[in-house]
Structure 1
């Protein structure tokens, strides 16, 4: 694999890390599946929970759930371009709004499913304590390294990160030092491998990777509430889609989300 440091030297510091490297099954279109299977396109940060929910749902219903995980922006564009899907789970409201405005989801099925928290992670065992104070020195703490997060132009975690850093008066200094990843899990991989000294991810992502640790937590009032909406896709072909969406919202389903660190969705603005 090409060294990440050489990749980071390219214009815009944009990262294109393959699904094979990340290991969570990113595809450019939903995988082929039998008509009765449920096809889910879900934000990368939901992978572990959705996989368990799918397994439990199959045991109860006999229906298989085929899932594809990536940044919400990429998945919304796939749906817009005709990729088959029954359910879309976004990591922010904007990309669900994007599809709803184009009549590509079933508006009545839309629900605010989950909440999350924004944190700074560092490689496990690192003594670095990120400075998240107003006007703090986070950029200086990076040394000659970069700060990994989702691309703020379209990836939800990057948009939340930008808002938080702007609120703290640190965005202008940090922006040129970003490693702009194509999903939150891609940013997490960079930190876990020690390719960058810090990353901004969701607390749930930090919890599933033993190679990182949470070094700082952003003040909750420094960024918009993190809300994961879910909805049926208008072009859904599977009668099981509604059943799986209901299962994810059920007490049993919510227990799985809680197991992976998610919280109930906060009140929408």
Structure 2
């Protein structure tokens, strides 16, 4: 009768199990590198979702987008959150991650432009002449002015700068409902929780519950520029091809449709 060494069988089983775990981890890592993860400003959602869907269909690759205020995304990148591409709604937060050596400098470029507008719930929308000294406090009539947090969220920073230039900020500062992102500010107006809000033109176009009642003069704030770059820690082999697609003439209509300007 053949005698089986049980100790040898147990060692072999353990070795096989460990090999399976290592192989599974390697496959998982490879799959993660095949997928592209994008950290993008909240105002990008509609346009970028459409572009990502088109690129995935064309390239056969998966794209996952995480949307939030540029400030929050930059802090997440600084903390080591795994991502391949960063799209900021202003130059400051791209500079923040760039100064920390977190982006591949040769991939960084100024990609899109936008405008800021004053919005109101659609049923109460009346045109507002946005000019020097316009009475925004009177329009609010005790209500809140929804906008991104003025000290961190890009749309809020642009909005504050414009109101300061127009001599209106001091009269409405205490009425500001500073939201965590421009989309959160938009939602306050759309739900009727704030009579007015300052958002990007692209966000206003994405919500049927609001109407644009005025557009801020371009000379009332710094140019609104969306920079894009691949992150230093990206291991995705298709990140460069994805970036090239987004900046191509083929993808431009997705962004122009939502109101962005494609910068040359």
Into which bin does the TM-score normalised by the smaller protein fall? Answer: 0.7 to 0.9
Q: Does 1:175 align with 2:173?
A: yes
In structure 1, the partner of 2:12 is none
Check whether the contact 1:151–1:180 (CA below 8 A) recurs between aligned residues. yes
| Higher Rg of the two aligned structures | 2
Higher helix share: 2
Distance across 2 between alignment mates of 1:136 and 1:49? 32
Check whether the contact 1:114–1:263 (CA below 8 A) recurs between aligned residues. yes
Distance across 2 between alignment mates of 1:121 and 1:141? 12
* Alignment root-mean-square deviation, CA: 1.2
Distance across 1 between alignment mates of 2:154 and 2:258? 19
In structure 1, the partner of 2:157 is 159
TM-score, normalising length: structure 2: 0.86
1:211 to partner: Cα distance: 0.1
Gaps of 5+ in 1: 1-32
In structure 2, the partner of 1:251 is 249
In structure 2, the partner of 1:44 is 42
Distance across 2 between alignment mates of 1:215 and 1:40? 33
Map of 1:28-67 to 2, 5 A cutoff? Answer: 34-67=32-65
> What is the CA deviation profile of residues 94-141 of structure 1, one whole-angstrom value per residue up to 9, with x for unaligned ones?
000001111000011001110001100000121444452212210121
The size of the alignment, in residue pairs, is 234
Instruction: Go from structure 1 to structure 2 and tell me whether the alpha carbon gap of 1:150 and 1:60 turns closer, same or farther (over 3 Å shift).
Output: same
Deviation >2 Å, runs of 4+: 127-133
Check whether the contact 1:130–1:138 (CA below 8 A) recurs between aligned residues. no
What secondary structure does 1:252 align onto?
A: coil
TM-score, normalising length: structure 1: 0.85
Instruction: Go from structure 1 to structure 2 and tell me whether the alpha carbon gap of 1:262 and 1:127 turns closer, same or farther (over 3 Å shift).
Output: closer
